[in-house]
Chains A and B, each alone.
Chain A
Amino acid sequence: MEGVSQEVALGRSFEKVNAILKKHAYNPSNLVGILQEVQEEYRYLPEEILTYIATALGVSPAYVYGVATFYAQFSLKPKGKNIIRVCDGTACHVKGSSAVLKYVREYLGLREGEETTPDLLFTVETVACIGACALAPAMMVNDDVYGLLDEEKVKEILERYEEGREGADGV
């Protein structure tokens, strides 16, 4: 059952991949951009699509795989609908970002080594700096920045996303 639905999903995705490839004129020098758009579409880079892209661009699958694994932004595993990026930059670090990460992970009930919730609603990552040092400790949920976090605020923010009230405007 799962295999079938995946196939269907992939069948659809190749169409979209084709559109993305076309937009980038099948130019291997746009590979990073292509992968970014594919990931935006599917929230991760499925292996089949990487091979497909390699063939379409006339480069080896190893080359595409190499690029896909080099950059922190790319994920070969499915990511959640909402990406939580807990900032672990210097300013956030000295102001307690590890506690924020702990709250987030505890709230989502993630076990050690897990990054994505089983319902694919959230993925938790740490980033080196989101440049919101004045708001340390900070985190991003998708493109929204939240600062001056503590346990309560983290809970409040995540609750909002759980209920689908996204794009809430900050602190």
Chain B
Amino acid sequence: MVFKDRVSLEAKVAELKKSMPKRKVLVCGGLGCLAKGAQRVFDLLVERLETEKLSWTVEKIEETPHHPVKTGCMGLCEAGPLVMIEPQGILYLRVKPEDVEEIIEETLKKGVIVERLVYQEEKNGRKELWPLMKDVPFYRKQVKVVLRNCGSIDPESLDEYLSRDGYLALAKVITEMSPDDVIGEITKSGLRGRGGGGFPTGRKWQFARVVKADKKYIICNGDEGDPGAFMDRSVMEGDPHSVVEGMAIAGYAIGAQEGYIYVRAEYPLAVRRLKKAIEEARAAGLLGQNILGTSFSFDIIIREGAGAFVCGEETALIASIEGKRGMPNPRPPYPANRGLWGKPTVINNVETLANVPAIILRGAEWFRSFGTLTSPGTKTFALAGKVKNTGLVEVPMGITIRELVFDIGGGIQNDRAFKAVQVGGPSGGCLTEKHLDLPIDYDSLCGAGAIMGSGGLIVLDEDTCIVEVARFFMNFTQNESCGKCVPCREGTKHMLNLLQKVVDGKASMEDVELLEKTAVVVKDASLCGLGKTAPNPVLTTLRYFRDEYVDHVLHRVCPAHVCQAMKEYFIDPEKCRSCGKCARVCPVSCISGRPKVPYVIDQNQCIKCGSCFEACPFDAIVISWRRKNHE
């Protein structure tokens, strides 16, 4: 149906709220669960419920059978596929097709919990079960604002979004608020850009609002390029309408009639779901000409990125939408003054926009009740790496890293020791054990040398080499540097070379000093955010893990046993039969020996290729990691 005015929309929302089935079986359709076979579980549930329906209507006429819904990401990707039973809120983990029968027979029919599928923890030898989602430690401390619908509605259904007060915020805005009221409310809420920079969203809108122009644009930045971040993908896949609604509200506030969503091409599912959401919204009169009978018109176009990290930067993103090489331009002029095709443009991150409808509906005060004074609201994080409960989380700002890693994340995998947490991706930094009680907000993280970034949070354990991680990020930024400005193009290259030397055990302490100096220059002199933040991983690791650099350089030791150059190959004289196979395969001919005398590897020439290790028929080649007191 097409909504002609606010009243008809509100009537439909009220009706949907009543008619939506209360008894539901929700199967997580997030990428993680799908890859673990959630589709088969879902199909089987649909099929079985379909057959059950017949017998049920015969026997129990009043009971409506559970309604299966495939949702967006529920968060606890580690334990997927996830299945939730409404209205009780029972959460089942690692559900296999074989389990479907039991779930139907026990839980759906009798209301009995299937214990083996429930979240459990062993404490002091006693098993503790947490059958309800809200009690599971992973969810207990979470507050869902951005992810309010993610994991609980079918993202491909407009009706489901509407039943969660969908598009009511847009209706309210265009019928009873002036653009200034909207900007005022967003400013009052203290919402800051969730893409990483943390610039106040209200002020950004205000800048674009006051510029006079015949056309203005809203761009939703869905170019989530940080390795290790998947929050925006989850929102776009799990609740695409919230992004669409947020964009329309932003469009109304600044006076734009057109919006672009720039999505990574690596996210085909997000692209598909957004397209569907836009089409459905258009068909319902919630996008397009004269929305809800008002004079406000707004439409959205999707642009797929083509694989360039730098396009996450505002000006580069604009160049990319214009069909050019995605290279940044110096600011000012800021996009708010001269952006897409020279017109005033506001670029907001996916998560920022998904916050907007909730703020409009529930008010700035409500929003400020979460988080801290300077960073109100919540933040989504992609919790990954060596942590037990990997997945998508949303927590109030100001929560400590300890709570996030240990309470929600469940601690380190295989009970290894915590070493560091990498926040903010290639632009962020590594924080250590002593930062565990640091509250997570824009300013605290900045003070510690990291940044909020878009919210990737990778936990590192003692088996991770910090220097190698720094090299990994530098390799990434060096690859992604667009080459426009010299400090970034050349600086990242030199930094990478220096880091490679450290990892290869060929660096001197002067190299480390030079690395530090270069890092400062790149940070100060680069044109755009990519270059300005690229040295952060190096600078923070040098600051907090200097010992490890020293170990690599002075002692040629990798404490985490990762850097191959710090390995040594020996021939066990007891086992060696002097067959000479190792000497024949050695590419640098550094193994010598003669018949009846055990062979020997010349450590100075060995390139640690491992060929001899594989060639030896007697397992006589021993690998050992250098230790500090080795020499």
Name the B residues within 8 Å of A143 (CB-CB).
Answer: 268-269
Instruction: Report the interface size for chain B: residues with CB under 8 A from the other chain.
Output: 59
| A133 sits at the interface (CB 8 A) | yes
CB proximity to A under 8 Å, residues B479-528: 480, 482
Contact between chains at B226 and A145 (CB < 8 Å): no
> Are A94's CB and B39's CB within 8 A?
no
Q: Quick check: B458 and A94 within 8 Å, CB to CB?
A: yes
Could you tell me the distance in whole angstroms from the C-beta of A94 to the nearest C-beta in chain B? 5
A60 contact set on B, CB distance < 8 A: none
Q: Which of A27, A89, A145 has the most CB of B within 10 A?
A: A89
Known: A90-B458, A145-B31. A128 touches B323 (CB 8 A): no
**B77 CB, nearest partner CB in chain A, Å:** 3
Chain A residues with a Cβ closer than 8 Å to the other chain, count: 43
**Which residues of A lie under 8 Å from residue B473 when comparing CB positions?**
90
Query: Nearest A residue to B425 by beta-carbon distance?
Result: A90
- Considering the chains assembled together, what is the distance between the CA atoms of A128 and B309 in angstroms? 9
> Is the C-beta of B47 less than 8 angstroms from some C-beta in chain A?
no
With contacts A70-B325, A94-B460 taken as known, whether A132 is within 8 angstroms of B303 at the C-beta atoms is: no
Give the distance in Å from the alpha carbon of A29 to the alpha carbon of B321 in the complex.
7
- Shortest CB-to-CB span from A96 to chain B, Å, is 11
Q: Is A136 an interface residue (CB 8 A)?
A: yes
Q: Give bound CA distance, A136 to B35, whole Å.
A: 12
Cβ contact within 8 Å between B265 and A129 = no
| CB-CB under 8 A for A90 and B303, given A29-B323, A67-B324 | no
Asked if B326 is at the interface (CB within 8 A of a chain A CB), the reply is yes
Residues of B within 8 A of A91 (CB): 227-228, 384-385, 390, 458
A133: contacting residue among B327, B390, B472, B480, CB under 8 A: B390
For A89, list chain B residues within 8 Å (CB).
Answer: 227-228
Is the Cβ of A70 less than 8 Å from the Cβ of B456? Answer: no
Known A-B contacts A28-B323, A136-B384, A170-B35; the reply to A88 vs B227 at CB < 8 A is yes
In the complex, which residue of chain B has the Cβ closest to the Cβ of A57?
A: B323
Report the minimal beta-carbon distance from B524 to chain A, rounded to whole angstroms.
25
B32 pairs with A93, CB closer than 8 A: no
Q: Which of B36, B306, B324 contacts A171 (CB 8 A)?
A: B36
- Give Cα distance in the complex from A145 to B422, angstroms: 25
Bound Cα distance from A171 to B33, whole angstroms? 10
Q: How far is the CB of A132 from chain B (nearest CB, A)?
A: 6
Residue-wise, chain B 270-302 has the 8 Å CB interface mask toward A (1 for contact) of 000000000000000000000000000000000
Among residues of A, the one whose C-beta sits closest to the C-beta of B78 is A134
Q: Is the CB of A145 within 8 A of B225?
A: no
- Of residues 33 through 84 on chain A, the ones whose CB sits less than 8 Å from some CB of chain B are 33, 35-36, 66-67, 70-74
> Contacts A66-B325, A71-B306: A170 and B266 contacting too (C-beta < 8 A)?
no
Q: Is the interface of B mostly helix, strand, loop or mixed?
A: mixed
A130 to B224, CA, bound (A): 10
* B543 proximal to A (CB < 8 A): no
Cβ of B34 under 8 Å from chain A = yes
For residue B322, CB closer than 8 A to chain A, the reply is yes
B81 to chain A, nearest CB (A): 10
B384 partner residues in chain A, CB cutoff 8 A = 90-91, 133-134, 136
Taking a contact as CB atoms under 8 Å apart, the answer to whether B40 and A134 are in contact is: no
Q: Inside 8 A of B482's CB, which chain A residues have their CB?
A: 70
Q: Name the B residues within 8 Å of A171 (CB-CB).
A: 35-37
Residues on B with beta carbons closer than 8 Å to the beta carbon of A72: 306-308
Interfacial chain B residues near A90, Cβ < 8 Å: 227-228, 384-385, 422, 425, 456, 458, 469, 472-473
Show 10 residue pairs from A and B whose CB-CB distance is below 8 angstroms, ordered by the A residue. Answer: A72-B307, A90-B227, A90-B384, A90-B469, A94-B458, A94-B464, A131-B229, A131-B382, A133-B228, A133-B390
In the A-B complex, the 9 residue pairs with the smallest Cβ-Cβ separation, listed nearest first, are A134-B77, A89-B227, A72-B307, A131-B230, A71-B306, A133-B384, A90-B228, A31-B323, A91-B384
Residues in chain A within 8 A of chain B (CB atoms): 27-33, 35-36, 66-67, 70-74, 85, 88-91, 93-95, 127-136, 138, 140, 143, 145-147, 169-171
Interface of B with A (CB < 8 Å)? 31-32, 34-37, 39-40, 77-78, 80, 224-230, 233, 265-269, 303-309, 320-327, 341, 382, 384-386, 390-392, 422, 425, 456, 458, 460, 464, 469, 472-473, 476, 480, 482
Given contacts A132-B35, A133-B390, 18 further A-B contacts (CB under 8 A): A29-B321, A32-B323, A35-B306, A71-B308, A90-B456, A91-B228, A93-B227, A94-B464, A94-B469, A128-B480, A129-B225, A129-B230, A134-B384, A134-B390, A135-B32, A135-B77, A169-B39, A169-B40
